[in-house]
Chain A
Amino acid sequence: MPDRPQPPHWTHQLLAWICKPDLLPEIEGDLLELYQRWVQQYGERKAQWLYFLNTLFFLRLFVFRRRGNVSPIMSSAMLRNYFLTAWRQVQKSKLHTAINVFGLAIGIASCLVIALTVQHEFSYDRHHPDSDRVYRITSRLKFADDWITNGGVSGPIPHAMRDEFTGLEAVAAFHTVHSKVSIPSGADFEEQKNVVVAEPDYFTVFPGHQWMIGNPEQSLAQPYQVVLTESQAYKYFRDQEAIGQRLTYFDSLDFVVSGILQDDPRNTDLPFTDYLSFATIKTNESIGQEYGLDNWNGTTSSSLTFIKLSQGTSPTDIGRQFPALVKKYMDSEEDDVERAFVLQPLSDVHFNAEYIMNNQRVAHKPTLYGLALVALFLLLIASINFINLETARAVLRSREVGVRKVLGSSRSQLMQQFLGETFLITLLAGVLSLGVAKLGADFFAESLPPALSLSILWQGNGWLLLLMIIGIVSLLAGTYPAWILSAYSPVFALKNQAMKMSGTTRKAYFRKALIIFQFAIAQAFILGTLMVGSQLHYLLNKDMGFRKDAVVHFYQRHWGDTTQRRFTLINEIRQLSGVSAASLSNSLPAANNWSSRTVTYKTDTSERQAHVYIKEADTSYLQVFDIALLAGRNYHASDTMSELLLNETAARALGFVPPTEAVGELIEFNENNALPVVGVVSDFHDGPLRDKLHPIMMGSNAYNLGNFNVLLATQGKQSTEVQQTLTQIEQVYKRIYPEEPFEYHFYDDTIAEFYEAEQRTARLINVATGLAIFISCLGLLGLVSFTTNQRIKEIGIRKVLGATVTQLIALFSREFVGLVLLSFVVAAPIAWYFAQEWLNGFAYQTSIGVTIFLVTVVSALSLALLTVGLRAWQAALANPVDSLRNE
């Protein structure tokens, strides 16, 4: 035999597994005989393959086995019996079934919603052919000490790349713009936000678009051409033929519709509807300037460049070619900005908040992972309920197991039966979870991606996802109970001694461990809720160093506005009786936008430099925002900056100890420009509390001011009076800026918006906590009602012998108190650790006190006691006669 070629060993095992044992030798013999022949004919490789295939074909024998024993699990009579047994179990213990189904349904529903969310977020722009070779070019600019990132590049760069770079298959340069659109019949369309000025090459980088009419070269290469999507064309022209029609963009430029694209329902961050030809801005010099086509040094985030690498080129190959480009075109004397360019993979675009494109929503990966973890935990808690209830109740079914075993059931058959029952329960939960998921998705609509809809469950393979979750959950929840149940020895089971083996045995320990785990999760969630909530409260209520309530602010563009109307406006507002002060500034005390520069303080012996953030405002700024002047005086009104205020941090950074020493000193901006410090103000937070507060320099500059800040006189006033003042302000505004909308914000709302992400986290964790506690308590309820039922006689006897209701409740509750306390010990350090990690993202943190831990353990304990106590109380109140009368 050693000389003969043999098929691989594992195929023997496969065959042995497939075939009934008594058929194995002959079948294997036949196959081996054929195998020798195949080796001769086709060689060993193909022979092995044929052998494997033919082995697989024998599955039909397994499925339609006619000879020998009929597998009982397959017989319809047994199946009927299994269903009947399952149904009786459901009927016998409706509460337990309800608890199991409901808990699992919540777990599955959260999994479903979250899985769909994750799938949705990761589907963005994955459909473009060769999308792994598509990158966006982003800019990094270094001003003074700070790197600033920008999702766009300056105008000439893409064209230079196309000419001078190697390794590029295509370069798509485009500008996102907003524009009102009008059609020849005179109808106007509100500002369209998905307009893009693009070259034909756009469709080489993103070739997935279907052209209904036209093609990139013919429809987008000439000046004043526009390509529309199908639905956009319908919006403009309804049922008229769109091709050849005229559309007016930017109030004055006429474009001819020269192509129609099919609508693409797939998720994308490039949802453009109007493609204006790039040739337009190239031929028209004045527009070209507006788009910075020749401006190497200006970077705006609406001038975007996507590239497609040639096959086999790596991003670093492209990155290497940038320094030469920068040196050649952007290395001028007067421009001391350091530049770098980074290739961002297309797959990163949907997740990177650093470069937001055309106001597209970005997803936050850590949040998605957090969500997935939450769903997993909820599912685990629900599965633990199932495991605990089923193992506790296993004793009740021990006799069934005994009888089945005596009648010839094998252990694996019993396991199949019980797993099958679990599957049915889970299936029921799965169906219910669809409803729960719908409710949940509606309820959390604002935390979910807007385009997400549960209906994708019914498209394609969505239902497979549900089935997969159900399958995994059945195994997770069902395996251990099935193992325990099928393990009963028929001798003990039938002599009614199965009870003896439970209670203090290993199973009970396991059950306790699971309860501890479950309550540890629940308490970790409670701790998380409290800590996040406490930090959020701190963020929203911490004294920022300036006044934020009763302040209303609004903005008006000031670039290129040479009129005096903003000064007129602010003065008229000051006249209103309901206004105590009003100020014009370039930015709010705490804002998301800022400007900064490096300044120097020189003495005879030393020189100190500091990078300071600049706020420009009129003289009322300190009064409106109640920023305290520590030393010196406020600056005088002036059209250009002539006097300075420093905050304490800025003064300290420039070497003044104490900071008030700075008053009267000269601060240099550059060689021939130095300004005197006339006062020092107290520190205030100039941004979200995530960041440390910055050194700040303030001065008067009439030209940069576009923020109107109004302090309302609210002292002792009704809200209607305040509302009246706001209406008056609007009237004044409308008189002076008749063409502009009036949009005002209360400053405390604006500050609350800084923490939108944190508020979302808080909302999420609140709900997760609620659900975790709810499911855990459901489980406890199930367990307690089971044990009280089991011990109903014991309760009766104890009562007869004089036990009070309190004593009885204590009897049942004692065990659970211990478990909850133990689980707190597990949860506290874990929750503490993760909360610290989260808090480390903030420069200013609330202090986590003992109170939070106390509140957690007390609330968890009282919830558990309430659940257990209610049921125990009910049992303890029962008349002992009822339970003791019948044997």
Chain B
Amino acid sequence: MKGTNLGEFQELVMLTAGLLYDEAYGVSIKDEIKQQTGRTVTLSTVHAALNRLEDKGFLSSRLGGATEERGGRPKRLFRVTAYGKQALEESRQMRNRMWDLVPKIAWDHH
């Protein structure tokens, strides 16, 4: 697990990028996060996370999809890399494992 530490928000961004598949770029990720979780995030927050994740090798990107409403500027479209998927899975497994380890009685408040 060491070395592939994922922040909560980073994990959220990666999952969003995954579910958007080929349409994952700044604005769409921001919108999807809002839709899925109700959280409003600023564009720069998303970009900061995306840059960071790409640096770590969890995401890969390509340029494409320049439209008129974007003033002819391209989108940077992100995709989750195999390494990224592994990190996500590790994070999920770690959670599951820990969930399983919690004794039932700990949830028993009633």
Contact = CB atoms under 8 A, between A and B. Distances in A.
Nearest to B61: A26
B43 A54 contact: yes
B63 A26 contact: yes
A27 B72 CA distance: 12
B44 interface: yes
B108 interface: no
Interface residues of A, number: 23
Contact of B52 (A32, A58, A66): A66
A213 B48 CA distance: 59
A20 B41 CA distance: 22
B94 interface: no
Most A C-beta atoms less than 10 A away, residue of B44, B45, B47:
B44
Contacts of A29: 66, 70-71, 73-75
B48 A32 contact: no
A61 interface: yes
A26 B26 contact: yes
B42 A61 contact: no
B71 A28 contact: yes
B8 interface: no
Interface in B68-86: 68-76
A751 to B, nearest CB: 75
Contacts of A57: 42-45
A25 B72 CA distance: 9
Interface in B59-108: 63, 66-76
B51 interface: yes
Contacts, number: 71
A77 to B, nearest CB: 20
Contacts of B76: 26
A4 B74 CA distance: 18
Contacts of B27: 30, 33-34
A4 B55 contact: no
Given A26-B63, A30-B26, A54-B42, A61 B71 contact: no
Contacts of A64: 48
Contacts of B47: 23, 27, 30, 58, 61
Given A30-B27, A32-B70, A54 B75 contact: no
Nearest to B29: A30
B25 A30 contact: yes
A67 B44 CA distance: 15
Contacts of A32: 69-71, 73
B68 A1 contact: yes
A60 interface: yes
Contacts of A245: none
Interface string A139-183: 000000000000000000000000000000000000000000000
A636 B44 CA distance: 101
Interface string A3-45: 0101000000000000000010111111111101000000000
A1 B71 contact: yes
B3 to A, nearest CB: 16
Interface in A45-69: 54, 57-58, 60-61, 64, 66-67
A72 B76 CA distance: 27
A67 B42 CA distance: 20
Nearest to A59: B44
A23 B51 CA distance: 10
Contact of B43 (A6, A34, A36, A67): A34
A668 B50 CA distance: 103
Given A4-B69, A67-B54, A26 B75 contact: yes
A416 B68 CA distance: 41
A54 B54 CA distance: 22
A247 B12 CA distance: 77
26 contacts: A23-B51, A25-B63, A26-B26, A26-B63, A26-B73, A26-B74, A26-B76, A27-B26, A27-B43, A27-B47, A28-B73, A29-B74, A30-B26, A30-B43, A30-B75, A32-B73, A33-B27, A33-B69, A34-B43, A54-B44, A57-B42, A61-B47, A61-B51, A66-B55, A67-B51, A67-B55
Q: Which 9 A-B pairs have the closest CB atoms?
A: A29-B73, A57-B44, A30-B26, A29-B70, A26-B76, A25-B73, A32-B71, A58-B44, A66-B55
Interface of B: 25-27, 42-45, 47-48, 51-52, 54-55, 63, 66-76
Interface of A: 1, 4, 6, 23, 25-34, 36, 54, 57-58, 60-61, 64, 66-67
